[in-house]
Amino acid sequence: MKRIAALLLALPLLVQAQTTLRLCAAGSPKTFDPAMTDSGIDHIAHLPVFGTLVEVKRGTDQLIPGLASSWAVSPDGLAYTFELRRGVSWHTVEGFKPTREFDADDVLFTFGRLLSRDSAFAKAFPSVSPYVVSFGWEKLIRSVEKLGSHQVRITLAERDASFLSALSFAFTMIQSAELGAQLLKAGTPQRIAQLPVGTGPFQFKSFRADSVIRYVKHPTWWRQAERPRADQLVYAITTDGSVRAQRLKRDECDIAVPVGPADLAELKKDPSIQLATAPGMNIGILAYNTRRPALARLEVRQALDMAIDKAAILRAVYGDAGTLATTPMPAANWAHDATIKPAPYDPAKAKALLQKAGVLPLDITLWAMPVVRAYNPNGQRMAQMIQSDWAKVGVNARIVTYEWGEYLRRVDAGEHDAALSGWLGDPEPANTAGQLACGAASGTFWCNAAYDKLLAEARQAMTQAERKVLYGKAQRIAMEQLPWTPIAYGRQAVPLRASVKGFVLDLDGSIYLDGVLPR
């Protein structure tokens, strides 16, 4: 009886030892396949599950080993040889139980999917990875070879200074070749988008759209000696930013992301809340669909740009959480050219340009983001202000919006005339600049040979000084041609309960939750 009593007394302690970290997230992922999306909402859902060959040290721009324990680059800059980490276990989830550990076959499978449009997995989806297109990887990567069970060599067709950095991106997250083979055998390759299996700190448990994602701790994660983790991770899908802020305040979540400036200002007053901040490696933009006859004309884009009172938008939408954007490159990025000055607000000149072009009255759709982002805290309010500004110069803008996943899909398909969007960048400028490369999913369908040539030269230049000059020239072309109107750079701030320990906000806004404990 004494032994039973002792066990009963110990039971509450065992229950209390189970920790749950709760994140109030902005939306449901449209896919759990990191290769086929450029959505920030999707990537937040992928980060707990998957790993990459190369990682970025939290809160810095320093590249560190990930699933590749080391690498060597050939003297000509073309061949990258990766030594793969041993003893890395795959997740066991409902519907899949691995029989082996991570090895070179998984790297070949992952890159084979990314680079081949003829594979069954490629045919299961309507498009190739948007990052593969914007980085030009189909032409850049000449071969991916298995040199041994834990050694891989990737050979490039030409030097690319951005390549190693790109390997830390979510679209390169390593996926299980064994799972792929199982899905192919069953004739269901499309299920890879609903069955995330990785090597990361948390295993996928369940998903209910627009409600909740549940993860559990991966018991044999290879980094577990370095970073503590909660036993469970719960994403509470909360689409309204103000509701996310209130749920955080009521202790219904431990972290809320993202939250708009007005709500952040209120949360800062609460002693039970802390703010994690970082410079804004991002940009909020208005993309013009250059497939539309009127918007294909430079003078029309110039007029629409100078008709927008961006300073007023900055005050009303961002408050002190943003600065005026002057180029498509985030101001926090080392390649940003601070000498570029955008055209000033000038509605009279804008109207004269439109009259000279003979397009007035001009009726267009203006698409408003339905989600809160650091680069755009209030898409509806911004759209209304632009609509009002354009009305003054004879442009009738009809505001359109959709659920975020549908919004992105329709913008990628070119259904919009002008669409508010943005980019959560990173320290590698090729990734941000590449969003405006010909064929990239930038919402513009803009192609400029001189711009693309500068990007190619910048990728091959091996010193940062040379690359900065080339990216500066590319930014000037973008500001002259205006496929995007840059609006603002948003300062990143993530509110969390004061009891939360170990959270570090990355420069690119990524939300990593290993190493984070709720209390």
pLDDT value of position 39: 82
pLDDT value of position 125: 72
- Token look-up 């139980």 returns 97
Q: How far is CA 433 from CA 134, 342, 477, in A?
A: 9, 17, 11
Judge whether 437 and 452 are in contact, CB under 8 Å: yes
In the chain, % of residues over pLDDT 90: 77
Report strand pairing: 151-156 vs 79-84: antiparallel
Q: Where are the beta strands (DSSP E) in 172-221?
A: 202-208, 212-217
pLDDT value of position 122: 77
Task: Tell me the C-alpha distance between 414 and 289, whole Å.
Answer: 7
| pLDDT, mean over the chain | 92
In the chain, % of residues over pLDDT 70: 96
Q: Residue 476 class from Cβ within 10 Å (0-12 exposed, 13-18 middle, 19+ buried)?
A: middle
**Whether residue 193 has pLDDT greater than 70:** yes
Q: How far is CA 342 from CA 29, 325, 471, 474, 513, in A?
A: 35, 9, 16, 14, 39
Task: Tell me the C-alpha distance between 418 and 365, whole Å.
Answer: 6
Task: Tell me the C-alpha distance between 345 and 118, whole Å.
Answer: 49
3-state DSSP of 230-284: CCEEEEEECCCHHHHHHHHHCCCCCEEECCCHHHHHHHCCCCCEEEEEECCCEEE
**Following CA atoms 412, 413, 416, 417 in sequence, which dihedral angle do they give, to the nearest 10 degrees?**
90
List CB contacts of 142: < 8 A, sequence separation 6 or more: 155, 156, 157
**Whether residue 424 has pLDDT greater than 90:** no
**Whether residue 8 has pLDDT greater than 70:** no
pLDDT in tens, 44-53: 999 999 999 9
Judge whether 68 and 84 are in contact, CB under 8 Å: yes
3-state DSSP of 377-413: CCHHHHHHHHHHHHHCCCEEEEEECCCHHHHHHHHHC
- Radius of gyration from C-alpha coordinates of the chain: 24
Task: Tell me the C-alpha distance between 517 and 513, whole Å.
Answer: 8
Q: Which of 181, 186, 201, 237 is nearest to 67 (CA)?
A: 201
Domain 30-190, CATH:
3.90.76.10
Domain boundaries, the chain: 30-190, 282-490
Task: Tell me the C-alpha distance between 155 and 512, whole Å.
Answer: 30
List CB contacts of 126: < 8 A, sequence separation 6 or more: none
Judge whether 491 and 265 are in contact, CB under 8 Å: no
**What mean pLDDT comes out for the span 45-67?**
94
Task: Tell me the C-alpha distance between 330 and 287, whole Å.
Answer: 16
Q: Which phi and psi (to 5°) does residue 492 adopt?
A: -85, 135
**Whether residue 127 has pLDDT greater than 70:** no
Give 75's pLDDT tier (boundaries 50, 70, 90).
very high
Choose which CATH entry (3.40.50.10440, 3.40.50.300, 3.10.105.10, 3.90.79.10) describes domain 282-490: 3.10.105.10
Least confident of 63-77, 126-140, 373-387: 126-140
**Whether residue 134 has pLDDT greater than 80:** no
Report strand pairing: 232-237 vs 141-148: unpaired
**Whether residue 316 has pLDDT greater than 70:** yes
List CB contacts of 316: < 8 A, sequence separation 6 or more: 381, 385
Predicted TM-score (pTM) of this structure: 0.76
**Whether residue 497 has pLDDT greater than 50:** yes
Task: Tell me the C-alpha distance between 490 and 464, whole Å.
Answer: 25
Q: How far is CA 90 from CA 56, 154, 204, in A?
A: 21, 23, 12
**Whether residue 18 has pLDDT greater than 80:** yes
Give 275's pLDDT tier (boundaries 50, 70, 90).
very high
- Token look-up 């061949």 returns 79
pLDDT in tens, 199-249: 999 999 999 999 999 999 999 999 998 888 999 999 999 999 899 999 999
**Whether residue 14 has pLDDT greater than 60:** no
More confident residue, 116 or 368: 368
Least confident of 9-23, 25-39, 67-81: 9-23
